[in-house]
Structure 1
Amino acid sequence: MLKEVTIKGRLIDAESRCVHWNSRLDIIALKLKCCESFYACYSCHQELTHKDHATHKYNINKSPMEHVILCGVCKNTMTFQKYTSRSFGEADQEGISTQNQPFCCPFCNSPFNPGCKLHYDLYFDFDHRDHRDCEN
């Protein structure tokens, strides 16, 4: 059974979409280290905390096992590596290649917004050269 996790933000539905990001693909929430909470997006965090504290991000290289992504559809949490593995064409748990599958949840296969990679630097600290998904 999944542990219930609260998603914070200016939500418009139960799948983590918010007033800022609400396409059918905007279904992830991201965990910020400063609050140890999942937020629908960075703007939601800034608005709800009234910028009353500095934003602290997880260092993906130093905390690789930290669950920092939540799928708004199935509510499973995952590490950054697990989250990005479906976009690289790696093998899934059964050893089946994910090469031709869309960027999606490794648990429920709900498609994720591939454009989220453009905002990784708002949530995470890491050397971009260490992550293939951050190229371009």
Structure 2
Amino acid sequence: MTIVHGTPVSGLAVDDETRCAHYRTSRDVVALRFGCCESYYACHACHDAVADHDARVWPRSRFDEPAVLCGSCGETMTPETYFDAGHACPACDSPFNPGCLAHRDRYFESR
């Protein structure tokens, strides 16, 4: 586990901006909170690799709670704020990997 701006983030080889063994580009600076354990992980593959349980997505009924962490500045966002952010942190404008949002069904309950 790595502490990123005061928030614990689990995964494999997680750096101080949430990059991991699976996603290491300059834009891979998002950690996501899972509904099964309410913990932040660098990615779905990290959860699969280190958690002792099956992953469950963040439920729609909790979309008003923070479930996304910007690894660049530590801002936490609700899923809707993240979806609407335009692939950049609304607090620090750090670019996010658009591929992460493309497979958001791995992290968030769909409509």
The amino acid of 1:117's aligned partner reads L
Question: Which consecutive unaligned segments of at least 5 residues does structure 2 have?
Answer: none
**CA RMSD after TM alignment:** 1.4
Deviation at 1:44, TM superposition (A): 0.6
The yes-or-no answer on 1:114 pairing with 2:94 is: no
The yes-or-no answer on 1:65 pairing with 2:64 is: yes
Give the match for residue 8 of structure 1.
10
The answer on whether the counterparts of 2:12 and 2:46 sit within 8 Å (CA) in structure 1 is yes
Residues 21-80 of structure 1 deviation map (CA, whole Å, 9 limit, x = unaligned): 01110000000011111000011111112xx422221123x2221111000010111101
Deviation at 1:12, TM superposition (A): 4.3
Distance across 2 between alignment mates of 1:29 and 1:43: 12
Map of 1:42-81 to 2, 5 A cutoff? 42-49=44-51, 52-60=52-60, 62-81=61-80
The secondary structure found in structure 2 opposite 1:70 is strand
The answer on whether the counterparts of 2:57 and 2:109 sit within 8 Å (CA) in structure 1 is yes
Q: Structure 1 residue runs of 4+, over 6 Å off?
A: none
Map of 1:28-43 to 2, 5 A cutoff? 28-43=30-45
The answer on whether the counterparts of 2:48 and 2:54 sit within 8 Å (CA) in structure 1 is no
Question: Which consecutive unaligned segments of at least 5 residues does structure 1 have?
Answer: 88-102, 128-136
The answer on whether the counterparts of 1:10 and 1:44 sit within 8 Å (CA) in structure 2 is yes
| Greater Rg by CA | 1
TM-score (norm 1): 0.73
Residues 91-117 of structure 1 deviation map (CA, whole Å, 9 limit, x = unaligned): xxxxxxxxxxxx200011100011112
Distance across 2 between alignment mates of 1:77 and 1:112: 14
The secondary structure found in structure 2 opposite 1:6 is strand
